[in-house]
Structure 1
């Protein structure tokens, strides 16, 4: 298989065509952004860590019956995937209060929620990815009611698979963001599952081991990504 032209350049990854129209390559970058691109930087090794961590999670989810776009790794920071028509709805699952949930509802950070909260956000940088409900999504023509039911079911299944998996590694899955897309007549989990898109806290110390270290200038960003990779895949870089 041959890596072809660049089809898309995002904040943290690029998408390339291949000589097979049913195969794309995602290349993960070390660049980091926060606050709708207002803060920018570089996290050394992030592209490699996010690629390998995402591959690990996608493999586990596929084994548990969650369909994804993942086909395999193509290199240390490249992943082979199925092409998707991305649904412009981000699905967020929250297990522990953090981030915008605390700001919106006045909750104390670290509060363990009595049950997971599922939220939808309109994937639109110009609008700041606003929180939306089913009615908004249908009115905007982003997804049907039947598709939203699938997104809910699959997101909850992802949570059910990942929480114990991370627990075995001494990590709390605080919250995470998912993106889905259409591949022919199927809805598949896409994008990535990594410290960029999840909040991971050390179970014992509650130390943050994710992109919040970059957002909040906590330092030790590279070490946090490396530690998550080590705990999940059993080796350092």
Structure 2
């Protein structure tokens, strides 16, 4: 196999040059971080599970005409994606009070919100990803007003769809983070869903017991982290071929 040039390494993924112009290979790591990388660790098999879960959810979203950067899964830890210009905004959708929202506003965790709330955060680790308003986004040129309209439109549709999908397998979608990018094709630009959708960036609770099935188990030292990720994949019907055995990833080439 030819050596691929590494273009970027983030907290949970590595991006390599793709086989064709305009494509990238996205590799899912087992590394886990929390509190803006102040807490670090490893969740064995996380990359394999997140690759499969994100593939499944991106494919389902494409079926309802949500444009995404996803092309296809290549193997247990890698997927082929379209190269996009990432918009430096994290979009957070909240259906139930948890995490920073509960702390910020003094709302008991688990309180169902009157309606879904969409929040924006500026992607900047040095500033701890501060919350911003739409006025900041357009004023500083991070995205145009039309980009924001597209993002909100897609975000609300994604929330409606994923809420129902997860509820159908006994999981409550508490909140989640999305990232979007600009895809340039044939002299045209459109906003598409990028990054991933997985227990790394979703809060997922068992619908009956409210047991946490996401990265909060790592953040809060609750234990059984691998089992929670595996249970999400199992309920979605996509537990990898490796099953629940040790799914430690290979060393990547740089």
Q: Normalized against structure 1, the TM-score is what?
A: 0.97
Could you tell me how far apart the structure 1 residues matched to 2:55 and 2:161 are?
15
Q: Which residue of 2 aligns with 1:195?
A: 199
Deviation at 1:139, TM superposition (A): 2.1
Q: Which residue number in structure 1 is paired with residue 92 of structure 2?
A: 92
Distance in 2 separating the partners of 1:18 and 1:148: 29
1:24-103 → structure 2 map (5 Å cutoff): 24-103=24-103
Q: Does 75-84 or 2-11 show the bigger shift?
A: 2-11
Greater relative CO (CA pairs within 8 A, separation 6+): 2
Q: SS at the partner of 1:151?
A: helix
Find the aligned partners of 2:2 and 2:87 in 1 and give their Cα distance.
27
Instruction: Kindly report the root-mean-square deviation, in angstroms, between the aligned alpha carbons of the 2 structures.
Output: 1.2
Q: How does 1:1-237 map to 2 (within 5 A)?
A: 4-184=4-184, 185-235=189-239, 236-237=243-244
- The CA distance in 1 between the partners of 2:3 and 2:65, in whole Å, is 29
CA distance in 1, matches of 2:219, 2:63: 33
Contact 1:170 1:204 in 2 (8 A): yes
Instruction: Return the offset for 1:234.
Output: 4.8
1:73-94 per-position Cα deviation (integer Å, ceiling 9, x unaligned):
0100101100010000111100
Give the Cα–Cα distance (whole angstroms) in 1 for the partners of residues 173 and 3 of structure 2.
Answer: 34
Following the alignment from structure 1 to structure 2, what is the Cα–Cα distance between the partners of residues 164 and 3?
A: 42
- How many residues get paired? 237
Flag structure 2 segments of 5+ consecutive residues without an equivalent. 245-254
Q: Residues 178-216 of structure 1: CA distance to partner in whole angstroms, max 9, x if unpaired?
A: 000001101110000000000000000000000000000
